[in-house]
């Protein structure tokens, strides 16, 4: 099985609140690593709020009903653990 990473591009999200606030804070453009790190952090926080344990977070993140609001919109995962 081959998997590839598809980078986020600021040009597609320039008008979002996340990008605008980030540009104000950092006084410059952000990159895909910033956006993906933010999404991962939001997902982890959402999981911890619902079930604050290692197994609880794993259970929440793998649930079909899991949704977190990230830089790119809704963050969801497939049962395989890959991002939807």
Q: What is the pLDDT of residue 45?
A: 97
- Does residue 6 register a pLDDT over 70? no
Output the pTM of the full model. 0.82
Angle, vertex CA 24, rays to CA 19 and CA 29, nearest 5:
50
Q: What is the pLDDT of residue 79?
A: 80
pLDDT tens-digit readout, 38-82: 999 999 999 999 999 999 999 999 999 999 999 978 999 988 888
CA 44 to chain centroid, in Å, comes to: 9
What is the distance between the alpha carbons of residues 16 and 5, in angstroms, rounded to a whole number? 22
Residue 67 · residue 47 · CB < 8 Å = no
- Does residue 31 register a pLDDT over 80? yes
Q: What is the pLDDT of residue 1?
A: 74
């Amino acid at each position: 099985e081959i998997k590839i990473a598809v980078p986020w591009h600021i040009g597609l999200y320039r008008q979002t609140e996340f990008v605008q606030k980030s540009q104000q804070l950092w006084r410059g453009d952000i990159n895909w690593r910033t956006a993906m790190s933010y999404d991962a952090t939001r997902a982890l926080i959402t999981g911890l709020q619902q079930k604050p344990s290692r197994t609880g977070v794993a259970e929440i993140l793998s649930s079909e009903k899991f949704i977190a609001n990230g830089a790119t919109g809704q963050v969801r995962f497939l049962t395989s653990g890959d991002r939807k």
